[in-house]
Amino acid sequence: MQRSEAGVPVLISGVSKTFHRAEMQTQALGHVDLAVKPGEFVAVVGPSGCGKSTLLKIIAGLLGPSEGKIEIAGNVISGPHTDLGIVFQSPVLLDWRNVLDNVLVQIDLRGGDPDAYRERAMMLLAKVGLAGFENRMPRELSGGMRQRAAIVRALIHTPPLLMMDEPFGALDALTREQMRIDLEKLWLDRGQTTFFITHGISEAVALADRVVVMTPRPGRIERIIDIDLPRPRNKAVINSPRFTEYCDEITECFMRHGVIQY
Ligand SMILES: Nc1ncnc2c1ncn2[C@@H]1O[C@H](COP(=O)(O)OP(=O)(O)O)[C@@H](O)[C@H]1O
Ligand SMILES: [Mg+2]
């Protein structure tokens, strides 16, 4: 399968968002334009509060933009849509269902037949190192394992778009590195369009085809950097001078905005 066949194009045109609450107005997002190619892996980095989660929710149709529009595979988004997978920072598993049933809840919710997806669920769980844990309850798992289950749940229905909002933010550094490696494998296998929000600069460079650097609130796109590094992004790639140059370029953007001060 061609990678691009499994992903959809996402077009963000002139999107901004202002929240109104009582007399308070917060402009969360400035004017954002971005065309994401089918199957592309885009990482968005930006300081806390710059509107990253707001942008993700607008793309998912969970929030309406104040201005502009989102088109996914040519369709203008006007409300929540289901042809996507989302992973949040905390995994939100159902305490009373085991790992396998937590994955299959995605199929239940869509009115599908969970039995038809059992084999695929087992295959994906094995890919993220959860073979043998299918029958465990969420409370029996580490934070990293719970997040792995949440990632499998987001992918079980083979969505053409995967959106992740700081999915590894609550994990320790070693687990985070392994999750990054496993996520790249899952993406290389299938090539769903992926929108990955992080405030980890090296994580963004390690994963993405393009890194979108956001300004402080109201978030606008400051720079878009093509990451021309071979895949898989193994130790040699991560340790290469080119990798460090990309990270430096992003750090400098943040220094210019006072987000990072030495
Ligand atoms: N529902 C809301 N109502 C009012 N303000 C909000 C709401 N959601 C987010 N904001 C504000 O919008 C800004 C951007 O938030 P968010 O998108 O969560 O940022 P990020 O994910 O980049 O940290 C913040 O100042 C936040 O307080
Ligand atoms: Mg956020």
Take atom 18 of ligand 1 and give the residue whose Cα is closest: 53
Which of 54, 56, 163, 197 is the best mutation target for the ligand 1 pocket, counting ligand atoms within 8 Å of the beta carbon and taking the most? 54
Mean pLDDT of the chain: 94
Q: How high is the pLDDT of residue 2?
A: 55
Give the DSSP per-residue string, 24-39: EEEEEEEEEEEEEPTT
With a 6 A CB cut-off, is 19 part of the ligand 1 pocket? yes
pLDDT, tens only, 65-114: 999 999 999 999 999 988 899 999 888 899 999 999 999 999 999 899 99
The answer to whether residue 4 scores a pLDDT higher than 70 is no
Residue 203 tokens read as 């994580």
Q: How confident is the model at residue 159 (pLDDT cuts 50, 70, 90)?
A: very high
C-alpha 214 to ligand 2 mean position (Å)? 12
With a 6 A CB cut-off, is 21 part of the ligand 1 pocket? yes
The answer to whether residue 1 scores a pLDDT higher than 60 is no
Q: How confident is the model at residue 26 (pLDDT cuts 50, 70, 90)?
A: very high
With a 6 A CB cut-off, is 186 part of the ligand 1 pocket? no
C-alpha 57 to ligand 1 mean position (Å)? 11
Q: How high is the pLDDT of residue 90?
A: 87
C-alpha 197 to ligand 1 mean position (Å)? 14
Q: Which residues pair with 211 in a beta bridge?
A: 43, 225
Nearest ligand to the C-alpha of residue 164? Answer: 2
pLDDT, tens only, 162-206: 999 999 988 888 989 999 999 999 999 999 999 999 989 999 999
C-alpha 238 to ligand 1 mean position (Å)? 32
> Which ranges of the chain would DSSP assign to H, the alpha helix?
52-59, 99-109, 114-127, 143-155, 173-190, 201-207, 235-238, 241-256
Nearest atom of ligand 1 to the alpha carbon of 50: 22
The answer to whether residue 211 scores a pLDDT higher than 60 is yes
Q: How far apart (Å, rounded) are the C-alpha atoms in residues 262 and 258?
A: 9
The answer to whether residue 160 scores a pLDDT higher than 60 is yes
Q: How confident is the model at residue 3 (pLDDT cuts 50, 70, 90)?
A: low
